[in-house]
Amino acid sequence: MRKFDITIVGLGPAGGTLSNLLAMHGLSILILDREKSFYPLPRAVHFDDEVMRVFQTIGITKEFLKYTIINKGTKFVNSKEKVILDWPRPKKITDNGWYPSYRFHQPDLEKQLRKKLKNYEKVLIEQNSEVRKITNSKNHVDITYTNTRNHKEYYVRSKYLVGCDGANSITRKQMKTKMDNLGFTQKWTVVDLILKKKKNNLPDRTIQYSNPKQPATYCRNVGKRRRWEFAIKKNQSDIKVLSENYIWNFLKPWLNKSDAIIERKTIYQFESAIARKWRKGRIFIAGDAAHLMPPFMGQGMCAGIRDASNLAWKIATCLKVKHNEAFLNTYQTERSLNVREYIETTMRMGEFVNAVESTPITDNIRSDNKGIKSMQSIKPKMGKGLGYLKDKNRGKIFPQFKLNKNTSLDDNFSKKGILILSSDLKTKVSKKYNLVNSKKIKKLSVYLKNINAKAILVRPDRFILGSANTNHEINLLLKKYSEILR
């Protein structure tokens, strides 16, 4: 029987990201994907600065940036095309070291993730692989899968398994955990087109058409790609709305047949749901296998990437040190609260797009002195988990600090955490830990003063685990969490 450190089921963006983050630790990884290759047509089209920072950790940003554009934001308009809400995405570098929002073509991302995986000798990708059975044991997971081309059955053993296998996850079914529907279910048609010629009349931003007769969305995507999405009315058949006549009639205000070709047309069931359990023993689920949300904020794929970033270093730590039940339980507790807030906000945006409400009820809506409403991007808190909840800095994103034009502090902790010490703190912390003295980076010293801390322990996923102001407090942090620094 073949044995691996981790088996990952599914090689979409979440599975590809998780595989790369784990491979960086030199672990043996088996990736099982039921498709013969990556899906070549558009699916996800948006990601944010936090996700780009994860891609930077993996090492794909230099090449992948060529295939992205900076997203300028979203406008919500009513049936008369009057702007009723503006959600701008300023072209300004954030604390994560990247622009707030990007557009991309999913196959381009999947190519980069797979290309990077080829650099790791201990990573084995098996396409055309359908998982049949997953058996949980105290010290390992046994997996039975079938090759759909030669119909042979295979058995492997792994210390951990993560299902990144989408909304119809076989991993979730094997775990026997249910999805809780949070209340939004709606069928929409999604049409992706490639322009044949330049169309200056098409907006350079995403437009949400809040129209009670037929809510719709327009997306400015990479290159000549454009996307329209529209709700399906209760009395309409799937065959009708996917017909060429219906689609081109719908697109008449913007395009005609001579302007573009239809690259993809499909029907999606937009849902809001979250799994009750994300972990059972040594089995985990991530991405769409763990949660689903409507697309109105473009956070579906992003949530899966955040899952991968949170889980990867925890599994790697447990493999390098020892299995820790309490440590791994923090995956769901930290991630579920964050993703639930994204889902609930997206649901309210969905009601707004459907013209159910005049203004979405969210805390991130502001009005200027002329009464024009605008929306700010949300950054939900990390849920309860590692660290002391009374620590005000715990769970905050740690900014990316540049060391010079080509390198940043992030490069110092791609695989482990760092302990950052103020230059005026006299302490005798062992050099065996991953240490950084703030005197080397002026902006870092200013940052520590601004958050009222003499020292901070930063996790490998770039979140602050804890802060300290005395040697005693530092020693308490190290006593509990020193394994993440080695």
- What φ, ψ does residue 471 adopt, rounded to 5°? -60, -35
Q: Tell me, what's the pLDDT at 375?
A: 83
Q: Tell me, what's the pLDDT at 370?
A: 59
The residue among 296, 316, 337 that closes a domain is 337
Average pLDDT over residues 101-129: 97
Instruction: Enter the pTM of the model.
Output: 0.96
Neighbouring CB atoms inside 10 A of 56's CB total 20
Residue 479, pLDDT above cutoff 80:
yes
- Position 305 confidence tier, pLDDT thresholds 50, 70, 90: very high
Least confident among 42-51, 56-65, 161-170, 364-373: 364-373
CA distance 196 to 360: 37
Q: Tell me, what's the pLDDT at 247?
A: 97
Q: Tell me, what's the pLDDT at 369?
A: 60
The pairing of beta strand 101-103 with beta strand 455-458: unpaired
- Position 125 confidence tier, pLDDT thresholds 50, 70, 90: very high
Q: Tell me, what's the pLDDT at 412?
A: 80
Average pLDDT over residues 122-133: 97
Q: Tell me, what's the pLDDT at 273?
A: 97
Q: Tell me, what's the pLDDT at 297?
A: 92
CA distance 330 to 385: 5
Is-contact 477 485, C-beta < 8 A? Answer: no
Average pLDDT over residues 181-188: 94
The residue among 317, 337, 357 that closes a domain is 337
Q: What is the DSSP string of 312-373?
A: HHHHHHHHHS---HHHHHHHHHHHHHHHHHHHHHHHHHHHHHTTSSSS---TTEEE-TT--E
Q: Tell me, what's the pLDDT at 403?
A: 86
Average pLDDT over residues 298-325: 96
CA distance 250 to 381: 40
Residue 148 burial by CB count (10 A; 0-12/13-18/19+): exposed, middle or buried?
middle
332, part of any domain: yes
Q: Which amino acid is at 151?
A: H
Residue 425 lies in domain: 409-485
* DSSP reduced 3-state for 158: strand
Is-contact 86 373, C-beta < 8 A? Answer: yes
Is-contact 231 187, C-beta < 8 A? Answer: yes
Rounded percentage of the chain residues whose pLDDT exceeds 70 = 98
Q: Tell me, what's the pLDDT at 234?
A: 87
Q: Tell me, what's the pLDDT at 232?
A: 95
Q: Measuring CA to CA, which residue among 176, 165, 392 is closest to residue 289?
A: 165
Neighbouring CB atoms inside 10 A of 320's CB total 15
123, part of any domain: yes
Which strands make up the sheet holding 365-367, listed edge to edge? 291-292, 260-275, 179-195, 225-231, 216-220, 206-209, 73-77, 83-88, 373-375, 365-367
- Position 413 confidence tier, pLDDT thresholds 50, 70, 90: confident
Q: Measuring CA to CA, which residue among 95, 51, 44 is closest to residue 305?
A: 51
CATH number at residue 173: 3.50.50.60
The residue among 293, 309, 337 that closes a domain is 337
Average pLDDT over residues 119-123: 98
Q: Tell me, what's the pLDDT at 30?
A: 98
How confident is the model over 237-264, as pLDDT tens digits? 999 999 999 999 999 999 999 999 999 9
8, part of any domain: yes
454, part of any domain: yes
139, part of any domain: yes
Is-contact 260 248, C-beta < 8 A? Answer: no
CA distance 171 to 153: 18
204, part of any domain: no
Tell me, yes or no, whether 332 and 413 share the same domain: no
* Helix %, strand %, coil % of the chain (to 5): 30, 30, 40
Q: Tell me, what's the pLDDT at 424?
A: 82
Tell me, yes or no, whether 38 and 153 share the same domain: yes
Q: Tell me, what's the pLDDT at 101?
A: 96
* DSSP reduced 3-state for 173: helix
Tell me, yes or no, whether 150 and 20 share the same domain: yes
- What φ, ψ does residue 434 adopt, rounded to 5°? -85, 100
Residue 365, pLDDT above cutoff 80:
no
- Position 81 confidence tier, pLDDT thresholds 50, 70, 90: confident
Residue 359, pLDDT above cutoff 80:
no
CATH number at residue 442: 3.40.30
Token readout for 417 is: 């955490």
Token readout for 110 is: 């999947």
Least confident among 353-367, 407-421, 424-438, 445-459: 353-367
Q: Tell me, what's the pLDDT at 357?
A: 66
How confident is the model over 324-337, as pLDDT tens digits? 999 999 999 999 99
For the chain, how many structural domains are there in total? 2
Q: Measuring CA to CA, which residue among 308, 322, 386, 302 is closest to residue 29?
A: 308
Average pLDDT over residues 164-174: 97
Tell me, yes or no, whether 125 and 30 share the same domain: yes
357, part of any domain: no
The rounded Cα 289 to chain-centroid distance in angstroms is 13
24, part of any domain: yes
